[in-house]
Structure 1
Amino acid sequence: MSDLKLVLHVSEADRWHAALGNLVNLTALDDVPDVRVVANGSAVYVLQGEHDQLSHMAKAAAKGVVFQVCQNSLKAHDIPEKALPEWAATVPNGVLALAEAQQGGFAYIKP
């Protein structure tokens, strides 16, 4: 695995398409970087139900991409944590998760 670490920040539901394109390209590399996705804001709406975007996210998760979902955003949008797929972890605060990732050497990417 590459020494490169990336955190993708998805805060709007309509930005998942771009983020998923990035994830497909990153996970196809010979030397896959450490990739984390932090979702907050309206992006959390997309992390429930059954649809194509979720299946693409599940494939990325199976390749080692870590998905972190902001509990504050879930609460603000009345989405129960149990509605999330099993590969999605919650974090208390998405902004803090982004700051912690950057402090840990992750490059910030906003698709």
Structure 2
Amino acid sequence: MSDLKLVLHVSEADRWHAVLSNLVNLTALEDRPEVRVVVNGSAVYVLQGEHDQLAQMAKAAAAGVTFQICNNSLRAHDIPAANLPNWAQTVPAGVLALAEAQRGGFAYIKP
């Protein structure tokens, strides 16, 4: 695995297509970087139910991508954490998770 670390930030529901495209490309690399996705804002809506985008996220998670979901955004949009897929991790605040990732050497990407 590459020593490169990337954190992708998705805060709007309509940006998932770009994020998922990035994840397909990143997880296909032979020298794969460590990838984390931090989700907040209206992007949390897409983490419910069963649909193609959620299946793509599950595939990325199985390939080693970490998904961190902002608990503040879940509360703001009345989404119980229990509704999230089992591969999704909640974090107290998405902005804090982004700052911690950057402090930890992750490059910030906003698709």
TM-score over 0.5 for the pair: yes
Percent identity of equivalent pairs: 82
Shift of 1:11: 0.1
Shift of 1:110: 0.1
Shift of 1:97: 0.1
Deviations 1:36-82 (A, max 9, x none): 00000000000010000000000000000000000000000000000
Q: Unaligned stretches of 5+ in structure 2?
A: none
Corresponding residue for residue 108 of structure 1: 108
Shift of 1:29: 0.2
Distance 1:2 1:60 in 2: 17
Moved over 6 A (4+): none
1:43 aligns with 2:24: no
Shift of 1:2: 0.5
Shift of 1:35: 0.1
Distance 2:101 2:65 in 1: 14
Shift of 1:15: 0.2
- What is the TM-score with the length of structure 1 in the denominator? 1.00
Corresponding residue for residue 11 of structure 1: 11
